[in-house]
Structure 1
């Protein structure tokens, strides 16, 4: 991020009604325009967290983010550049029923329309481009997705400063802050199943998320560093289970193990391997890569990968 730019995030919120897909447009009161739900990043937020929060604040609908659908850039009257990141986001029937939206001083109305109608209704060309990207996902049949989130544990106490077994090495104070900071972004992607290396630094990284979701962390040596060093790790088994389950999951492991996990996701989904896998697995402490896979046909390959780095 640059200091001169203004960052924001939002989404193309969609639902299926009577077998017909509709997307959500918002009519803003002050500007008298038609646009997509979005808003500026709050201090300390990661972009995905902003997108989910702003969608909820403007529409009353809580969503889990799906595939990224583009970034818009335009100049503000102040001459600063505004950069807006967008994700596709399905609005479930339950989320819509739970929405308490009423017209207010910011949002005059919500409107569900066909994607092609949205292209004609939107007030700004930059929004049209985002919806065009969204339409391509529909045409490719990969709109409905689920994420496998590959997470490197947060910053741990240095090996030289720790006298016990390496597997028991705890998080540093910075690592503890990182673990708390990634809860919001991980929740934004619908994280539910939590799987970790048995090492303390991995389990503790997931502890704040576990508490937020009220879900236990499952541990397995198959993605642990000790097993990896001994040649007994088996990320293929864990990845295969998650791909078959077709449900959002977080796999928390170690730097040396992450390339194997990412490679197994590619193999399990029939994806051509390339340098992008290396980039997605070369993660800093507490950073994570979200691998989006098709719910209807996971074997059709990775739909998208995005990497998120904590600010702490």
Structure 2
């Protein structure tokens, strides 16, 4: 990121009302315009965190992010550039009922409209372009999704600096502990609710802060451990199959050598056409993760989309 570039994030918030899809537009008080909910990245924040936070702050609705639907670019005064990332985000009935929105000095009102009407009502061409991309996802039947997150554990103490004899007991380094804390926000933004982890200490410690934030436990799974992989007795296929059948947002925390097998099994379990993208999504540095979006209605229709994120620590 550069000083002359302003980064922001937001979403195309959608719901189905009486069988018809509607998206949420915001009436901004100061500018007297109609736009999509979005806002600037706060210091230390990731783009997914920003998107979820800004949607909630502007609309009062808490959402989990779905597929990434596009990026807008435009110029600001003093020759600066603004780059805004957008995700599709379903507003559940419960979330809408729980909305805390009241008109305020930033947002004067909210309006649910059809995508077609949004194209006519939005104030800016860059927002129109994002809604067009959203409509393309809609036409593909790729809107209602759930994420399976492939996470590589945080940075661990090197083998040379580790006094123990069992590699699975090797702990996180200070950088890894920072990564573990910084992963919480973005993983929550994607709605992760279940945590599955290799029993290795460097994996369980990586997801412990997330478990604390969720108030849930870490499900230990030897089938995705590096020990099992090295011994030729890993059980990645079963673990991945269980997660796909469950159709619930989950994170799988594992090791660099095991991640390509997880990606390959995700492709097989969803009927996806294999390709070079599998190598890309599974090639992660420590503390990084890939979100694999799958159709909630028909997981066997293939991987809908993937996106890689860095912990930044």
TM-score range, shorter chain: over 0.9
Q: What do residues 99-124 of structure 1 show as CA deviations (whole Å, max 9, x unaligned)? A: 11111110011000001100101011
Gaps of 5+ in 2: none
* RMSD after superposition: 0.8
Is 1:72 aligned with 2:72? Answer: yes
Q: What do residues 54-100 of structure 1 show as CA deviations (whole Å, max 9, x unaligned)? A: 00000000000000000001111221110000000001111111111
Alpha-carbon separation, structure 2, partners of 1:220 and 1:295: 24
Alpha-carbon separation, structure 1, partners of 2:311 and 2:251: 16
Could you tell me which residue of structure 1 aligns to residue 223 of structure 2?
A: 222
Could you tell me which residue of structure 1 aligns to residue 248 of structure 2?
A: 247
State the 1:2 CA deviation. Answer: 3.5
Could you tell me which residue of structure 1 aligns to residue 198 of structure 2?
A: 197
Scaled by the length of structure 2, the TM-score of the pair is: 0.98
Could you tell me which residue of structure 1 aligns to residue 101 of structure 2?
A: 101
Alpha-carbon separation, structure 1, partners of 2:78 and 2:277: 37
State the 1:126 CA deviation. Answer: 0.7
Aligned length, in residue pairs? 312
Alpha-carbon separation, structure 2, partners of 1:310 and 1:79: 30
Could you tell me which residue of structure 2 aligns to residue 183 of structure 1?
A: 184
State the 1:26 CA deviation. Answer: 0.3
SS at match of 2:171: coil
Alignment of 1:282-297 (within 5 A): 282-297=283-298
Alpha-carbon separation, structure 1, partners of 2:286 and 2:219: 20
SS at match of 2:79: coil
Q: What do residues 8-36 of structure 1 show as CA deviations (whole Å, max 9, x unaligned)? A: 00000001111111000001011111000
Scaled by the length of structure 1, the TM-score of the pair is: 0.99
Alignment of 1:35-114 (within 5 A): 35-114=35-114
Alignment of 1:131-170 (within 5 A): 131-164=131-164, 165-170=166-171
SS at match of 1:78: helix
Alpha-carbon separation, structure 2, partners of 1:139 and 1:276: 23
Gaps of 5+ in 1: none
